[in-house]
Chains A and B, each alone.
Chain A
Amino acid sequence: MKKSLWLFSFFVLILAILPCPAQSAPAYPTKPIEMIIGFGPGGAADVTARLVAGYVSKKWGQPINVINMPGASGIIGTRHTLTAKADGYTLMMDNHAVSAMLAASQIDLPFKWENRTVIARVTVDPVFYLVKQDSPWKDLKEVAENIRKNPKVFRWGVAGVTAVGAFAMPQFLEVNNLPFDSLNRVVFKSGAEVVTALAGGHIDLAAQQYSEATGLILAKKVRGLAVVNPERLPGLPDVPPAKEVGYPNLNVYGWQGVSGPPKLPPEVVDKWAKSLEEACKDPAFLEQAAKIYKVLAYLGPKEFWEFMQEEYKRYLPLAIKMGIRK
């Protein structure tokens, strides 16, 4: 009895180990893929993830499950992905907040931020510099002058230390040669709270993403003074691009893309990159993205990686100067 039990267990063990080495395995993907997102449902990143996941899974006929793992401004979800098995079945929705900005503002991350395989960037979320609707300021130059004359009077709202605003507004101060503490920084939990506070007059300035700002701009509760984008965005013709109003050097904006654990197999990366590139050219996908206020801006694996490195080079010095590295 004992001997057959041993034999049986031995067989079970063998059977379990056998499938492991993927020899001439069938084409990826052969089972559902998990797309992790380090934020809760409903945010800008989450919505994009669902859109992308929906599109790609339809194309490949394999479910892609979006799994929310919120916590610590995206650190928890990112860590989970970057330490997962690099078989292409655990990937994540990457964005500005969990890459360069995170690395710039956090000294000891539980992972090396560059230790990831970047696949492709899918969307960008241009940043709007906003004031409330009835603010007397007509343009950014006026804002800068007012801040210069009245340091520590005006209040600026931001959604944490890895939001676009956290870098966009200080960059604005920097290009105007204004000290970083000339504005009172008021921190909120989310972009929605920031724009709400702006609309209610509790703060005077904010720099938020396209998806967060548009609703209230259209509702005429807040006004966009400039947008960080090469051209005006559809539906918002009154907001000029930053370069047209004398600020060609403002270049902080949000983005979303797909990344995975380090050393992902090249077939996985290629297949994803190809499908994402097609998505960004597909009019139906474009329409869906426009509905949730995202601009499609594909970058392939190599370019995406270079892009991230550039961001890091830009944000790190800014973070050090701001003194937010903790």
Chain B
Amino acid sequence: MATFDLLVNGFSQALTPTNLLFALIGSILGTLVGVLPGIGPTSGIAILLPLTSFLPPTPAIIMLAAIYYGAMYGGSTTAILVNIPGELSSVVTTLDGYQMARQGRAGPALAIAAISSFVAGTMGIIGLTFFAPPLAEVALQIGPPEYFGLVILALSVVVSLSGKSLLKGFASAAFGAFVALIGIDLTSGQKRFTLGNTELVGGVDFIAVIIGLFAIAEVLRNIEEATPSIYSAPLKSLMPKLKELWECTGAMLRATGVGFFLGILPGCTPGAISFIAYDLEKRVSKNKDQFGKGAIQGVAAPEGANNATTSGGFVPLLALGIPPTPALAVLLSGFMIYGLQPGPLLFEKQPQFVWAVIASMYIGNVMLLILNLPLVGLWAKMVAVPYYIMGPMILLFSFIGAFSVRNNFFDVWTALFFGFLGYLMDKVKVPTTPMVLSLILIPMLESALRQSLSMAAGSPVLLFTRPLTLIFLIAGVLMTIFSLYARYRKPKIKEHLLGDKEEAK
């Protein structure tokens, strides 16, 4: 069919040596940027944009797209090795990925991240290729009430992340919600919880919080335990066992579905999406107890979802000219500078351009896989580095990372504060993950709620009359009920015996 011809045409363009070269350079640069904590794809693309200015449009755009893909991938490396999520979407990868590294399975973790990203990303691009315009139309139908429903659905994940004490899990989530409310309320311009402090007026940056809770707290814990290095014994293997790979196929497929479809929706952050994918995987998994302790699907799911989201994000971008995330907004401005005018007209008026870019995305995915699989060995050896070097470097990178998000020194203090807080929370067994989930979701919840109310002049009617919204809300309630049921179904004796082992990290 016509689409296929165009795609083939696109490949023939994308496969020229120049374009391939720039796709490669873009992938490498993007990965490097993604590995650096704090600098995510958004700032990465913005910073690297000038580099493309001396190129003609097609290679320039190919390079930009490759940087984006690379950055989304790079964040998972540090998430797995040192518990520092490179950007929001890698937060969930730390849950099981870092545990795997502590167990000497950093190699398989990194490998499965690469493989899952490749599979899901490629499938996502296929979806993009063939279904972009109709999918984009669907995306437009999702309005504030539907978002509200979606967020409620996502919040139901809190139950399963709460570990042994539901009360503590909720407390953690509540605190996350509180932190999310600090700052200027966008709807009214009113300052909330800022206590007259100018810095707080800018709100608490969540990447700084995450760096603190995950990276800094972990270093403090390791200092206490006098860990010689992240993993000291000789590494077991660098690649996942064939059986493990097979077990992950389901995870990869599910993650692709979740990631791609949710990635189409403007405003749905990759962070939230990876939580949903992770939780889904945990629910359907036969070894759900392993999640949080090093289950390989716990890495495959969020990583796959990320890359599928990346591909999904291009649907509204190319088909409507609407960037669903800030990173894609920067990419969009890059595109526009090179004369690419995203929107339905794009597919009509500049087809060779579009298809060359789409073709290069396939290529980009392949390149990342080829680039990163061999590097797995190199990265995995890092776990043997003595902690008296690793620890200080992690702390330094944490500070730089926190600073780099908004070029604001206050964020470093934020990271430090949450580092100490995370360490304390661990001592009293309050889980930190619900706080992060809440921090990401509550702003979305509040704006969706208030927008829905404003749309109906203050009445909540829209939340209960629109079909999709109702579906999401009911699904959310059901999921919560199921999770609660699953949790309390276990006989009390088992709880006694298992004791504290059930704590989720």
Contacts and interface: CB of A to CB of B under 8 A. Distances in A.
A and B touch in their complex, CB below 8 angstroms: yes
Contacts of A216: 320-322, 343
Nearest to A79: B198
B425 interface: no
Contacts of B187: 161, 187
A317 interface: no
Interface in B269-316: 316
Interface in A174-200: 184-190, 192-193, 195-197, 199-200
Interface stretch (B223-231, B334-342, B358-366, B432-440): B334-342
Given A76-B202, A161-B189, A292-B336, A187 B454 contact: yes
A184 B455 contact: yes
A152 interface: yes
Nearest to A156: B454
Given A41-B46, A291-B336, A292-B333, A324 B198 contact: no
Interface in B306-357: 316, 320-323, 326-333, 336-337, 339, 341-345
B320 to A, nearest CB: 6
B326 A288 contact: no
A26 to B, nearest CB: 26
Contacts of A162: 189
B417 to A, nearest CB: 17
Interface string A282-301: 00000010011100000000
Interface string A214-228: 011011110000000
Secondary structure dominating the interface of B: helix
B320 A221 contact: yes
A249 B129 CA distance: 47
B494 to A, nearest CB: 46
Given A186-B455, A291-B337, A199 B345 contact: no
A324 B189 contact: yes
Interface string B447-477: 1001100111100000000000000000000
Contacts of A218: 341, 343, 345
Contacts of B320: 196, 199, 215-216, 219, 221
Contacts of B186: 73, 160-161, 187, 189
Contacts of A234: none
B140 interface: yes
Contact of A202 (B45, B336, B455): B455
B331 to A, nearest CB: 8
Interface stretch (A2-10, A63-71, A253-261): A63-71
Interface string B124-142: 0000000000000000111
B322 A186 contact: no
Contacts of A68: 43, 46, 406-407
Contacts of B341: 215, 218
B266 interface: yes
B203 interface: yes
B329 A324 contact: no
B326 A42 contact: yes
Nearest to B186: A160
Listed residue (A68, A202, A291) with the most chain B CB atoms within 10 angstroms of its CB: A202
A43 interface: yes
A188 B201 contact: no
Interface residues of B, number: 59
Given A70-B406, A196-B140, A200-B142, A324 B50 contact: no
A18 to B, nearest CB: 28
A71 to B, nearest CB: 3
A215 B451 CA distance: 24
A75 B322 contact: no
Interface in A276-326: 288, 291-293, 324, 326
Contacts of B406: 68-71, 76
A116 interface: no
B333 A40 contact: no
Interface string A93-108: 0000000000001100
B322 A195 contact: yes
Interface of A: 40-43, 46-47, 50-51, 54, 66-73, 75-76, 79, 105-106, 110, 152-153, 155, 160-162, 184-190, 192-193, 195-197, 199-203, 215-216, 218-221, 288, 291-293, 324, 326
6 contacts: A66-B46, A68-B406, A187-B454, A193-B267, A201-B143, A288-B337
Given A43-B329, A72-B201, 19 more contacts: A41-B330, A42-B328, A47-B333, A66-B46, A67-B407, A68-B46, A71-B201, A72-B184, A73-B184, A110-B201, A152-B457, A190-B329, A195-B322, A200-B142, A201-B140, A202-B143, A216-B343, A218-B343, A293-B336
